Amino acid sequence: MVPEPMSDPTRNGVPLLRVRFSAGYASRPDVLRDVALDVLPGEVMGLVGQSGSGKSTLAMALLGLLDRRCNVRGSIRLQGQELIGLSEPNLRSLRGRAMALVLQSPLTSLNPALRIQTQLTEAWRAHTSGTRQPAVEKIRAALLSVSLPADDEFLRKLPSQMSVGQAQRVLIAMAVLHRPALLIADEATSALDVITQSEILSLFAKLNRELGMAILYISHDLASVAEICHRISILHQGEIVECGSREQIFCNPRHEYTRRLMAALPKLPGLARAATAGGIAPPSIQ
């Protein structure tokens, strides 16, 4: 499923997220070097790289969750606000509200001792005060938006009483509770079987299309990237070596490392169709 074009997804091409930074530890080579990445409002940006390339470090840097010993230098701007140097209380106010994270291991990301309703309620109250009823309504709406039951029986479940696919949908529901402008999906489908992975990819496309939510989709799986992303950045040994439209990256890669990635792909007709299908072709960024 290729994401459908949205009405005015770029807002004149001004980035929602603009990243220009390096990160590393004292007396060691930088983990990330001069990373340059822009995500436009309403687009799905793919970030591709092999294990150890720095993908998860980049995601944690965006959220301000790196080890304090890690030195982050440069600029990370979300909706025009500089995040590097922001205090922890201010960063906490942004996590879950302006940007949210979905990780790859849902059954370890959820608290095994708490019922789903409790965990979703805590996520809601992190950024919203008020009576119980509005929270319940928002929680049920979030569950329905990710195609999960919203009845009391499901809300009383513990994570261990759900499938991995259901647990991942709960994580996504938690992430979209406050309608963040940016959803960061870090290998969010790598722990899923092929059918469930396809369902989650369709769900991301639906959230992008219906809510106008930008998604930074981080993965080493080129097939899923070809299916959902509008533009793709290639991360290699801590550097972004190429960025372009889905069609350009898959059909006309320019960097040697990108060409090696494409050459390693199995020759599957479905992948070729996904890579060359029409989608959003974002204009140049201002």
Q: Are residues 224 and 272 in the same domain?
A: yes
Q: Are residues 82 and 221 in the same domain?
A: yes
Using the 3D structure, point to which of 156, 179, 202 is the last residue of a domain.
179
Q: Is a pLDDT exceeding 90 seen at residue 134?
A: no
Q: Is a pLDDT exceeding 50 seen at residue 227?
A: yes
Q: pLDDT at position 129, please?
A: 77
Question: How sure is the predictor about 269, in pLDDT bands with cuts at 50, 70 and 90?
Answer: low
Q: Are residues 23 and 58 in the same domain?
A: yes
* Assessment of whether the complete model's pTM goes beyond 0.95: no
The answer to which of 6-10, 152-156, 259-263 has the lowest mean pLDDT is 6-10
Query: What whole-number distance in Å separates Cα of residue 80 and Cα of residue 9?
Result: 17
Question: How sure is the predictor about 27, in pLDDT bands with cuts at 50, 70 and 90?
Answer: confident
Q: Are residues 188 and 93 in the same domain?
A: yes
Using the 3D structure, point to which of 126, 160, 179 is the last residue of a domain.
179
Does residue 131 lie in a domain region? Answer: yes
Question: How sure is the predictor about 271, in pLDDT bands with cuts at 50, 70 and 90?
Answer: low
Q: Is a pLDDT exceeding 80 seen at residue 253?
A: yes
Domain extent at residue 173: 106-179
Q: What mean pLDDT value characterizes the chain? A: 87
Q: Are residues 175 and 213 in the same domain?
A: no
Using the 3D structure, point to which of 124, 150, 179 is the last residue of a domain.
179
Q: Is a pLDDT exceeding 70 seen at residue 26?
A: yes
Give whichever of 115-124, 132-141, 274-283 has the largest mean pLDDT. 115-124
Q: Are residues 224 and 132 in the same domain?
A: no
Q: Are residues 83 and 22 in the same domain?
A: yes
Q: Is a pLDDT exceeding 80 seen at residue 9?
A: no
What are the tens digits of pLDDT across the range 61-81?
A: 999 999 888 999 999 999 999
